[in-house]
Amino acid sequence: MIRIMQSGEVDASELISCQVEQNMEIDARVLAILSEVRERGDEAVLALTRQLDGATLDALELPAREIDKAYAAMDADFLQTLEMAAENIRAFHAKQVRNNFIISETEGVLLGQRVTPLARAGLYVPGGTALYPSTVLMDAIPAKLAGVPEVVMATPPRPDGSVDAGVLAAARVAGVSRVFRMGGAQAIGAMAYGTKSVPRVDKIVGPGNIYVATAKRLVYGLVDIDMVAGPSEILIIADETCNPAHIAADLLSQAEHDRLASSLLVTTSQALAEAVRQALEEQIPRLPRADICRESIDKNGRIIVAESLAGAVAISNQIAPEHLELCVEDPFSLLPAVRNAGSIFLGKNAPEALGDYFAGPNHTLPTSGTARFSSPLSVDDFVKKSSFIYYTKEALGKVRARVVDFATREGLAAHAESVAIRFREA
């Protein structure tokens, strides 16, 4: 049963770890897999796919005709849902697209910035106990809006070598270029190093289990990554006007992800706290993933009774949750005080699941307290920015003494000379 605490008992660092724990044993296993993939390429990935996924494949890449086939066979209603969700995601992320700029306010001087898309992005889509067509949309669409020419997707195959039709239909809708049947650390290694059949990417995005997260951390620097994600989190701030059954359902929407997921409620009402605890006990047995929910709620769930809504927001800011629901009468009055959260859901009719699938903002979000300093996946993740500088000789001459002096004070004579030499008599 979930524990109810008073605000004075709260230690935010104990509720959600502010760092992803490093497991040396898992690191060693992942390093061994990455080494195999780097040395043996496709052969290693195919062997690991047989060993870990039980799938014997002739080739890693799924033929394009299989993607077309999955799209054509998908029921029309779900296809419409995918298209509508994709349009919402595009509309939201289109606002994030950056443009080049030039500054020419000083005579003889041009300064500017060029925004250039990555050449190739890799998208990891988990398989296993749940399927994630939504992740395909959320991660591929910003890349395409950024102008990335090629988006490749890796996802674990079933034992018969097939891939979920919903995931493939989403790939078609989102504009994924190529699909590879591979999962786990070996998929991350293949995309990071490149193999005979898998192209090397510039950035890897997407969620995964501890082996995937560890592999992403270990290849970072060779390629870029979105983040090292921990277990999913939700924090709900609720007042006495809320329906406890609704709050319980929202907490369980995260608990069912993972036994390590964190579901937290901060409320100003002791009566609501008790009612939500009872509602959780009623709802958990009815869920298909009840065993996962049970362990997550009992071990990592908490209900915190705060003295005020301002105090509740202060607790939330300490925790910096991945998902924050403001289930109060006037959520907009609290919004300015929220400093640390991945995605914020306002009011009583914006459950977190709305953001996971349909509304438009990205659902790839910072976890484990990293919302203190990082942001949701966006178009910015798929571009790089280069600055440029142009000076005429006359413009350089006006500032040369200052640049030479600056370099000299830092003890870098060659820097100073590279400016001064341009004005010395031949």
Judge contact between 146 and 382, C-beta under 8 A.
yes
Is 322 tagged catalytic?
yes
Going by C-beta distance under 8 Å and a sequence separation of 6 or more, which residues neighbour residue 80? none
Is 363 tagged catalytic?
no
Q: Tell me the HSE value of 281 on the side-chain side, using a 13 A CA sphere.
A: 9
Helix pair 393-409, 413-420: axis angle to 10 deg:
160
Q: Which residues of 62-88 are buried (b: 16+ CB within 10 A; e: fewer)?
A: beeebbeebbeebeeeebeebeebbeb
Please give the torsion angle defined by the CA atoms of residues 311, 315, 316 and 318, in that order, rounded to the nearest 10 degrees.
Answer: 140
Paired sense of beta strands 3-6 and 302-305, if any: parallel
Annotated catalytic residue, options 93, 257, 323, 363: 323
Rounded CA-CA distance 367/343 in Å is 11
Closest CA to 252 of 231, 272, 281: 281
Judge contact between 191 and 34, C-beta under 8 A.
no
Closest CA to 207 of 161, 258, 159: 258
Judge contact between 314 and 335, C-beta under 8 A.
no
Q: What share of the chain is helix, strand, coil (3-state, %, to 5)?
A: 50, 15, 35
Going by C-beta distance under 8 Å and a sequence separation of 6 or more, which residues neighbour residue 201? 120, 121, 122, 152, 191, 192, 223
Closest CA to 157 of 135, 177, 187: 187
Angle at CA of residue 196, ends 191 and 200, nearest 5°: 25
Annotated catalytic residue, options 36, 233, 256, 322: 322
- Tell me which residues are annotated as active site: 322-323
